[in-house]
Amino acid sequence: MNNQEEQTSKNNNSDNEFESTNLIDMDTLLANLRNEDKRTLRTMKNMRWLYFAMIIIYTLLMVVNPDPELQIHHRISGLCYVLSFAIFALIFQKYNKEFSSIDYSLSSSEMFRKAAERYNLNFKRYLVVIPPLLLIDAGLTISEYYRWTTVDPVVLILITQAIYLGVILIGWFIGYLIWRKRQKPLRDGALQILKELND
């Protein structure tokens, strides 16, 4: 009889320790999510204002500037940059609004589900950056095409594309490393919590 009571007591203590461990993990994950959400929101705000500033600067310097030395290709190149910056500003404005409206009062399952979606590396979400990247590419190509008159235009365009693509790939890889270090653990943790809640 005493053995049965001791075993039952051990099982209860084990269950309590398991629940306590899960609670600590959930609280820790929630705190980390809040911190990352705040950091991401701050980044989105800063990037939004940066692109708004770039829109004003490039519009004044390369589009409406009356300087007669600015030729039509300079203005077209500048316009490509301005349009690209405008799209990026809208993208960051959208994410700024999304991260500003995060609701931590939702049920645990709903909150962690949204967190997992928020920090999921879904490439379809990033297709929206292709148009502004192409506009920057166009502006850069036009600018370089008229700058170097002694180089074969085809070779010049190929070199420009190779350098630009290299910069984009390096930027993407750095972004991936940041996501893997800071945000992937949050996504994985949210998915793990959801799995435990649904079991």
Domain boundaries, the chain: 16-198
pLDDT at 146: 78
pLDDT at 36: 95
pLDDT at 88: 96
pLDDT at 20: 40
By the 10 Å C-beta count (0-12 exposed, 13-18 middle, 19+ buried), 88 is classed as: buried
Is the distance from CB of 62 to CB of 75 less than 8 angstroms? yes
CA distance 186 to 69: 53
pLDDT at 24: 44
pTM check: above 0.85 = no
CA distance 174 to 46: 19
Per-residue pLDDT of the chain (199 residues; tens, 9 = 90+): 444 444 444 444 444 433 444 444 888 889 999 999 999 999 999 999 999 999 999 999 988 888 888 889 889 999 999 999 999 999 999 999 999 999 988 888 899 999 999 999 888 888 999 999 999 999 999 988 877 767 788 888 899 999 999 999 999 999 999 999 999 999 999 999 888 888 7
pLDDT at 123: 80
Distances (CA, A) of 88 to 44, 71, 184, 185, 199: 11, 26, 24, 27, 41
**Tokens 């940041």 map to which residue?**
178
